[in-house]
Structure 1
Amino acid sequence: MKVYINENQYLSDVLPVIPSNTVLRKKITGCGATRGEIKANRHSIIIEPNVPVIKGKCSKHGEDNLFGVHEGVYTTHVVAYLRQSMKANKLFKILATPESFQKVKEAFEILGVNMHEECFLLFDECHKIVKDVDYREDITLPFDDFFQFKNKALVSATLVEFSDPRFKSFEVVEIEPTYDVRKTLHFCPTNNVLEATKKVIEHIGSGKICFFINSTDVIDSMMNALGIKEESTVFCAPKSVERLNERGFMNARDNWSEDNMKRYNFFTSRFFCALDIEMEERPHVIMVTDLSHATHSMLDPRTDVWQIAGRFRNGISGIYHVASFNSNYTVQSVADLKEQVTIMENVYYYLLNQYNHASSRNARIVYMDTLKSHPYKKFLDKEDRKNWSVIDNYVDEGLVTSMYNSEKELRGGYERVGLYKVVPVKGGYYKASEKLDKLTVPSKFKSIKEKKKAIVEQLEAIKDMDTELKRQWRDSLHATDPCIVEAHELLGKEVIEKLAYSNQKIKEAMIVERYKRKTTSTAFIELMKNTFHVGAKYEVERVKTTILSIHEKLDIAPLRKVTAHTINELFETRETWVGKASKRKRALYIVKAKV
């Protein structure tokens, strides 16, 4: 289905209400898809990709009973909003991040309101589900609920393919502009990002410049190398604000405001999509991809670049992409990447079948260890169901990486999209013999001990934090170093420091502690007390076999060799004898219980 839109029209002018069970591909940014849903005469829940977008829209639509749900907003706040809205006979208009959707769900359940029947659910900028799921696992949390809604839709100006079979019944609605929406893009391939950026700045001359670079390390190095820190503002995530503050740069913000802008303005991916940047001046936009220092600074012409260009509601003076490349990146097609997933799946389920039919315990152990570390495991959710978004992300990431194999590949990527008039900028390649400045990004390769110490300090800092934030932060640290996070939870900071952050010693201490916790569990102690009684005597050999049988019953693998004297961990005993003189056997007398 195609719907045509003229220049300066809102989506609601040509599509008064977003139809249910549709995927809306609007092609143009800023045509008012979320605005239309905010104004629609129905209860609405709108999922937005990040906090700045929610705050921006709540500020802009102050008369529309909007309520933003994100970090720092709790279920009780949502309940109060819903009650107040019902009392005032107002429509629910909730904007939530994917990670905070659960709080919305819980609030409706508390009030006994069936949100699946009463509300329209709109997943805005839905391409982010695929784009971000590799580092924002919880971005897919609302998905299972999404399909339970009677009325629902997804929308994006830069749609990516969804392989989830549940979308087969959805209709794709294309919003087709009747005018030329292509943007002129100055393509600046280079082997020296700093020198190429200098040239672009010199070419621009005066006026505000907005840089889009998905790396605060590269941003910091760029500002230092260009000598522009006093004239710069950085808009980034709260953690990055803290990191820049620690380095002495205090003009970093986690929310955009025109009042905070300076001559040079740097934005990370938090601000790539959905945010409305409304300013009188039409700035120049410079996007930077520096593969030498930040592989995650790659920008996708199909999504990222188009979204960045569409952030500025009053337009831009020009857009430039300074990019370096890596010829070691493999060029792959969609078919190649999907075939890889299929092969991984086949191998995984072959191994699973072998595990299920293994004839020995050792074989099962080996197969299980292999399954746990198999590359296909990342495509399964916590219930071992296929996670279609992660599969789509794998394919998408492979396609983007392919484009950065060479200048030719990336230019081809731009041309295939059909949304740009690409203007190549020559002179970006420099000889090794030329003595030119290069970006110097501080090494991230700290000693392993320093990295572990930093993680432990962060874990200590979040002890008393909000539950959701604490969980998210803990999970991100766990993804970086699972061992040290689990060690902190099991042993605590003091023990880790006593062990001097030694990996081997920490692992040994964890094994001992886990064993202790199992053997000091209520079940183990009760079974021991039920078997051995104070005032009784037991043959030494019987003590040993009995303790082993209790381990087996509770499926506890003994940490050390079990002997009769293992009983002394729970009881005070003394050696004695049982039986008649000719058949006396060594025994232990139970004096008293220790626990």
Structure 2
Amino acid sequence: MIHGKYIVEPDETIVTDLNSQYTFTIAPDVRLDKIFDAIPSNSIINKGRCGIGGTYLEIKADRNSIIVIPTNAVIDSKCFDSTGNLLENHYVVRGKVEDFNFAELREFMSDDTSFKKIFCTPESLGKIAKSGYPLELLHNQWFILFDESHSTITDAYRKNMLLAFEYFFQFKYKSMISATPYRFSDARIQAFDSYTIRFNDFIGSIEIKSTPYVIALLHTILTSPDHFPSRVHIFLNSVKGIANAIRMANLKDCAIFCKDDTKNMNELDELRGYFKAKPEQDSFSKYNFYTTKYFEGWDLEDKNATLIVISDVNQLTLRSGISNKCVQALGRNRSKSHRLIHITNDRAVKVFTHFEDIEESTFRTAEDVINHYNAHIHNSTNNDFPADEDIERSVEKYCDKVTSTKEVTLSHFKVDRIINGNYCNQEYNHLDYIRQAWEKSHYKVTISKNYVPKIPEIPLRMKESHKVKLMVEYLDELHNNSENVENYSSMQDFLPRDLGYIIEYYNELGSDVMKRYNFNINQMRDLFRKSRNNEAMQYVAEEYFKTHRNANVSTSRASDTLQNLYVKFGVMKTKGAIETPKKASASQLQTIFKEVKRTKVDKKYVWRIEEK
């Protein structure tokens, strides 16, 4: 088996009793096959940027390989051609254990195919070990690569992912690679040689758009299609948020890439027709939305595309780590992008704790909790009383499998997940830290502060006048800052559609009048109708005058003409919850015209208009 080595000299080499550390500085367009002949064994590689050819290097390596990749969607993009056929010498391991064909896998591993490449997710790695293929051959003659290795830590919601490490360390030849690596605390990984790729220039430019209300700002962007010459790819880790963004902007040419499950489809509701199975050329639209399932690991080929990632410190699912998940998302495009945009807010707190300090305090806490739990288990076992379930739950996040009768030991990988979450979370403490996170990832950064007003939250059961008050305050802020708000008029779309008539009242009456009447919906309705009637009556007068000028018109005909004109121009009764046309009478002509003559002709009253 080839073991892999570098083929250019590193800029810096540090040799310690623990490992060797190599640093290379290259141009942004150089790929890994110009640095290594194959991925070195027992190493952890910081490849510096996405799309530099890490997976490709292992696929082309003259050795049997197991390539562990975070998601099946990414595996599909690596293992199948454009027609859906599995590539030569490739094999994909996935599916439920009870349905898996172990014999077929074992046959593939044992046949005379050269340089086999088996792909699996971390959760499926155990199937290979249980296939019946001789473990001695597996562990000593196969190379295993943890691709996008940071995901084992950043995807903390995937509990079974960490089980892969039980198999990983049994291999003699193993490595980990990522564009956004994590500093693992496990001593076995710390003993790996490290290879760090740096660049002699920026790998791209990113616009950080800072705003308190990120979804509102996203809306102004989505309603400005002329700003984008090609497609737009939006990384927004919330199916509900995606659905709301599409509805608010009234988008039609769009695609949604997320997990295909009942919960997500119910959330999309009438938009589920926009769901696409996987991101590929035939499935893209003008606007493309992705949840975290597609933040990393796949290749986008879309020249002049705009990529946007959304963060919000106020929503847990939108607090993706900048230095890993956000960098991965905006690193998808293998063609030159038109723009890279990060829409975000921050806590405006200038506090940042060093990684080492977070690591030390987290491990102290973990050890203390574990010691407390083990003492409790010891006492419950010796004194024959049941273990406290609450104590069991408190220790689960720090250790491996918990039972009520056995002491536990610390899991470095679980603790690493906590450390990573806490460290990345503080990147959002201040705009300066957000900028630094992108700069450390070799991006040229520009920052703009973007004003958008806060979108009011209006509960269904709120008192009507309170709803009106919130809406008027929002509309006032929009109106007073119209020069600073891009797509000013479209921002009204964030207000509840069933209260759209309040916008009409606001535009007709103005906020001062609405405030004067304490936002009383009935009084404002009456004032609104009266104001509209005043405008409409001008058209009524014009039309009536054209029809009956210098003519004697009977009372009934005058009334009928007015009634038809009231309906035509929307003259309404000012009172009442139900909107109905105002009832016309001939006598109303005296309020419409200055000169109205009422005389008797043949013993019947007639009405004559000689001037307006």
2:205 matched to which residue of 1?
184
Residues 69 and 121 of structure 2 are in contact (CA less than 8 Å); yes or no, is this contact kept in structure 1?
yes
Picking from 24, 47, 63, the partner of 1:42 is: 63
Q: Which residue of 2 aligns with 1:500?
A: none
Deviations 1:108-146 (A, max 9, x none): x256773111210000000001101x2101111220111
For residue 237 of structure 1, what is the aligned residue in structure 2? 259
The code of the aligned residue for 1:192 comes to Y
Deviation at 1:156, TM superposition (A): 0.4
Determine the structure 2 residue equivalent to 1:425. Answer: 448
2:147 to 105, 114, 124: 124
Q: Which of 58, 69, 85 is the equivalent residue of 2:93? A: 69
Contact 1:352 1:371 in 2 (8 A): no
- 8 Å CA contact 1:299–1:305 kept in 2: the answer is yes
Deviation larger for 347-356 or 94-103: 347-356
2:183 to 161, 186, 189: 161
Structure 1 residues 57-206: aligned runs within 5 Å = 57-60=78-81, 63-71=87-95, 77=101, 79-84=103-108, 86-107=110-131, 109-110=132-133, 114-132=137-155, 134-177=156-199, 179-201=200-222, 202=224, 204-206=227-229
1:338 maps to what in 2? 360
CA distance in 2, matches of 1:347, 1:63: 49
Q: Deviations over 1:155-195 (max 9, x none)?
A: 00111110011113211012334x41332111111122233
Give 2:401's aligned residue: 382
Task: Identify the residue that residue 470 of structure 2 maps to in structure 1.
Answer: none
- For residues 53 and 495 of structure 2, what CA distance do their matches in structure 1 show? 42
Task: Report the Cα distance in structure 1 between the residues aligned to 2:50 and 2:150, rounded to whole angstroms.
Answer: 13
Distance in structure 2 (CA, Å) of the matches to 1:439 and 1:116 = 58
**Corresponding residue of 1:270:** 293
Find out whether 1:26 has 2:47 as its counterpart: yes
- Counterpart residue identity of residue 26, structure 1: K
Change over 3 Å in CA distance of 1:11–1:438 after alignment to 2? same
AA aligned to 1:425 is: S
> CA offset at residue 75 of structure 1?
7.2
- 1:542: which partner in 2? none
Relative to structure 1, the CA distance from residue 172 to residue 211 in structure 2 (aligned partners, 3 Å threshold; closer, same or farther) is: same
Cα gap change, 1:316 to 1:372, in 2 (>3 Å): same
2:421 paired with 1:401: no
Residue of structure 1 aligned with 2:305, choices 273, 283, 306? 283
Equivalent residue for 1:573?
A: none
CA contact under 8 A between 1:28 and 1:181: conserved in structure 2?
no
Match of 1:321 among 330, 338, 342: 342
Counting only pairs closer than 5 Å after superposition, residues 547-562 of structure 1 correspond to structure 2 as: none
Deviations along 1:484-525, one digit per CA (max 9) or x if unpaired, are xxxxxxxxxxxxxxxxxxxxxxxxxxxxxxxxxxxxxxxxxx
Deviation at 1:30, TM superposition (A): 1.3
CA-CA distance at 1:337 after TM superposition: 5.4
Q: Give, as a single letter, the amino acid of the residue that structure 2 aligns with 1:182.
A: I
The normalised TM-score by structure 2 is 0.64
Greater shift, 47-56 or 241-250, is seen at 241-250
Amino acid at match of 2:185: S
**Partner Cα separation in structure 1 for residue 98 and residue 62 of structure 2:** 26
- Aligned partners of 1:337 and 1:398 also within 8 Å: no
Q: Deviations over 1:507-553 (max 9, x none)?
A: xxxxxxxxxxxxxxxxxxxxxxxxxxxxxxxxxxxxxxxxxxxxxxx
Residue of structure 2 aligned with 1:356, choices 378, 394, 400: 378
Question: Do the aligned partners of residues 286 and 269 (structure 1) sit closer, same or farther apart at CA in structure 2, a change above 3 Å counting?
Answer: same
Which of 290, 302, 305 aligns to 2:326? It is: 305
Partner residue of 1:434?
477
Report the AA paired with residue 414 of structure 1: W
Assess if the C-alpha contact under 8 Å between 2:201 and 2:442 holds in 1. Answer: no
Q: CA deviation at 1:361?
A: 4.6
CA contact (8 A) 2:257 2:278 kept: yes
Q: Secondary structure in 1 aligned to 2:75?
A: helix
Change in CA separation of 1:358 and 1:262 when aligned onto 2, cut-off 3 Å: closer
Q: What letter matches 1:381 in structure 2?
A: D
240-249 or 342-351, which deviates more: 240-249
Unaligned runs of 5+ in 1: 442-595
Assess, with a 3 A threshold, how the Cα gap between structure 1 residues 195 and 342 changes in structure 2: closer, same or farther: same
Contact 2:89 2:113 in 1 (8 A): no
Shift of 1:311: 1.0
User: Would the alpha carbon gap of residues 170 and 205 (structure 1) be closer, same or farther in structure 2, given more than 3 Å must change?
Assistant: closer
1:371 and 2:428 aligned: no
How far has the Cα of 1:425 moved from its partner? 1.5
* Counterpart mapping for 1:418-567 below 5 A: 418-430=441-453, 434-435=477-478, 436-437=491-492
CA distance in 2, matches of 1:24, 1:276: 20
Q: Which residue of 2 aligns with 1:569?
A: none
Cα deviation, 1:3-37, whole Å, max 9, x if unaligned, reads 45445443123201111110011102212111111
Distance in 1 (CA, whole Å) between partners of 2:277 and 2:350 is 33
Distance between the aligned counterparts of 1:30 and 1:301, measured in 2? 18
Q: State the AA in 2 paired with 1:271.
A: Y
Query: What per-residue deviation string (whole Å, max 9, x for no partner) do you get for residues 50-75 of structure 1?
Result: 01111111125965411122236977
2:272 is paired with a residue whose SS is: coil
Measure the CA separation in 2 of the matches of 1:117 and 1:86: 14
CA contact (8 A) 1:66 1:94 kept: yes
Could you say which residue in structure 2 is the equivalent of 1:522?
Answer: none
TM-aligned CA distance change 1:360 to 1:270, over 3 Å? closer
Task: Give % identity.
Answer: 23
Partner residue of 1:17 out of 26, 35, 38 = 38
1:53 match: 74
C-alpha spacing 1:224/1:328, structure 2 compared with 1 (3 Å): farther
Distance 1:407 1:428, change over 3 A: farther
Describe the SS at the equivalent of 2:425.
Answer: helix
Asked if residue 207 in structure 1 is aligned to residue 230 in structure 2, the reply is yes
* Structure-2 change in CA distance of 1:315 and 1:300 (3 Å): farther
**Distance of aligned partners of 1:119 and 1:298 in 2 relative to their CA distance in 1, 3 Å threshold:** same
SS in 2 for 1:303: helix
User: Structure 1: which amino acid aligns with 2:210?
Assistant: P
CA 1:423/1:8 → structure 2, altered by over 3 Å: closer, same or farther? closer
In the superposition, the TM-score normalised over structure 1's length comes to: 0.66
Indicate conservation of the 8 Å contact 2:48/2:441, yes or no: no
Instruction: Name the aligned partner's letter for residue 283 of structure 1.
Output: A
**CA spacing shift, 1:354–1:269, aligned 2, 3 Å:** closer
Q: Secondary structure at the match of 2:144?
A: strand
Query: Are residues 86 and 6 of structure 1, via their aligned partners in 2, closer, same or farther at CA, if it must alter by over 3 Å?
Result: farther
CA deviation string 1:212-266 (max 9, x = no partner): 01111100001111110x2110011112653356444212123111111111000
Number of residue equivalences: 432
CA contact (8 A) 2:208 2:446 kept: yes
TM-aligned CA distance change 1:440 to 1:92, over 3 Å? farther
C-alpha spacing 1:93/1:333, structure 2 compared with 1 (3 Å): same
**Shift in alpha-carbon separation, 1:315–1:410, aligned structure 2, 3 A:** same
Q: Rate the CA distance shift 1:2–1:348 in 2: closer, same or farther, 3 A.
A: closer
